[in-house]
């Protein structure tokens, strides 16, 4: 598989001459990230613990209209209404990954809508999930979080039609997202086939950048690149689902790139050869890794699934990168080799300049060979 140049693997960064919003704060306003023990999708329960929890879940009767439910580790539930309409439903929420309230709201909303796009559906409405420490967080800060979510819904062309609020120790924000698709266009994460290629839509390194931000060591340029990636809606999903040769889709979030590839592998009973050199990174990611910035979720991810991964290199930095929890990450597409050009063209048309081919699906025991 061709390895793109570093320029092709690096997401463009908007020029900035002033410090980013999260880097310049009113000293009287507490940092949003100071309220939370983990931020963004790094808050997710580790894959190993989640697996144990779901093993004990009661199996209720499943109606025939339920196309996607608990049987796979998919991004959303899908309920078939008729031959032309399927309802896609999901929810996603987390604690602050950044200190700027508006940016936090935007990131959380973008992340929640991504699960609808990853199924090949288009969102039609959303409901807000709001839990805030009312006695410790200024109301204006909370209002700006909500406005950030509203702005993303407006950009997606959908109403924020309601929601639910509670008083909470930690700030939590997210959405219930509802979408529609033709049932034939639904793309699960468990239908990759040997011979397929893997294409990734966004660069990784969000968790590493957020770790630097918490230590106030993320530059304005690094922050701008992180925000540009995490607030970019994965609008390509429905168009990708309609392309001939696209077999499976998901989005890369809290379990890291390796974790979400493994979900594909386990569901389809296939193996993946991943080209680590081809994986796009946010600008400055290698330097941040060299400086020791990584999240605790990265180590938890590896502890949960590292036995299913063969790393050709013993490089700890590479392992930290590939297990790095992504918040509002890119679409991961499994498609026939003949469809790669169309998949990349679709993503790049929608502004995903860093999209590239990163691996190949093989027959074999589920797992990943990193080369």
Integer-rounded Cα Rg, in Å, for the chain is: 19
Q: Within 10 A of 277 (CB to CB), how many other CB atoms are there?
A: 13
Identify the sign of the CA torsion 48, 72, 94, 239: positive
Neighbour-count burial of 193, counting CB atoms closer than 10 A to its CB (0-12 exposed, 13-18 middle, 19+ buried): middle
- Pairing mode, strands 66-68 and 77-80: antiparallel
How far is 350 from 344, CA to CA, in rounded Å? 10
Q: Please list the active-site residues.
A: 41
What does the DSSP assignment read for 119-162? Answer: TT-EEEEEEEEEEE-TTTS-HHHHHHHHHHHHHHHHHHT--EEE
DSSP annotation of 350 reads: T
Which residues on adjacent β-strands are paired with residue 306? none
Residue 323 is encoded by which pair of tokens? 């297990």
Q: Quick one: which H or E segment has residue 246?
A: strand 246-251
> What is the residue whose two structure tokens read 């499994």?
334
């Amino acid at each position: 598989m061709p390895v793109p140049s570093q320029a092709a693997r690096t997401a463009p960064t908007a020029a900035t001459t002033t410090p980013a919003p999260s880097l310049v704060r009113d000293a009287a306003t507490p940092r949003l990230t100071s309220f939370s023990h983990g931020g963004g999708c790094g808050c997710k329960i580790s894959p190993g613990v989640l697996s144990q929890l779901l093993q004990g879940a009661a199996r209720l009767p499943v109606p025939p209209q339920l196309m996607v439910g608990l049987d796979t580790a998919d991004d959303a539930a899908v309920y078939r209404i008729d031959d032309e309409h399927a309802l896609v439903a999901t929810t996603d929420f987390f604690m602050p990954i950044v200190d700027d309230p508006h940016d936090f709201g935007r990131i959380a909303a973008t992340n929640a809508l991504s699960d609808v796009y990853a199924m090949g559906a288009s969102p039609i409405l959303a409901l807000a999930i709001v839990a805030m420490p009312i006695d410790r967080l200024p109301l204006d800060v909370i209002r700006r979080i909500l406005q950030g979510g509203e702005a993303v819904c407006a950009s997606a062309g959908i109403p924020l039609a309601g929601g639910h609020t509670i008083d909470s120790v930690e700030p939590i924000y997210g959405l219930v997202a509802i979408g529609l698709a033709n049932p034939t266009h639904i793309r699960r994460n468990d239908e990759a086939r040997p011979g397929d290629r893997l294409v990734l839509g966004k660069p990784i390194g969000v968790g590493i950048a957020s770790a630097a931000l918490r230590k106030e060591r993320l530059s304005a340029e690094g922050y701008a690149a992180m925000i540009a990636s995490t607030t970019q809606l994965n609008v390509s999903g429905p168009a990708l689902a309609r392309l001939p040769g696209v077999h499976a889709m998901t989005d890369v979030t809290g379990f890291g790139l390796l974790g979400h590839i493994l979900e594909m592998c386990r569901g389809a009973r296939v193996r993946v050869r991943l080209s680590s050199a081809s994986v796009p990174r946010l600008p400055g990611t290698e330097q941040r890794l060299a400086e020791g910035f990584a999240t605790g979720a990265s180590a938890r991810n590896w502890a949960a699934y590292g036995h299913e991964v063969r790393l050709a290199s013993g490089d700890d930095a590479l392992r930290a990168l590939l297990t790095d929890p992504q918040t509002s990450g890119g679409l991961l597409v499994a498609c026939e080799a003949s469809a790669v050009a169309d998949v990349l063209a679709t993503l790049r048309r929608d502004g995903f300049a860093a999209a590239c081919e990163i691996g190949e699906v093989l027959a074999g025991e589920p797992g990943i060979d990193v080369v």
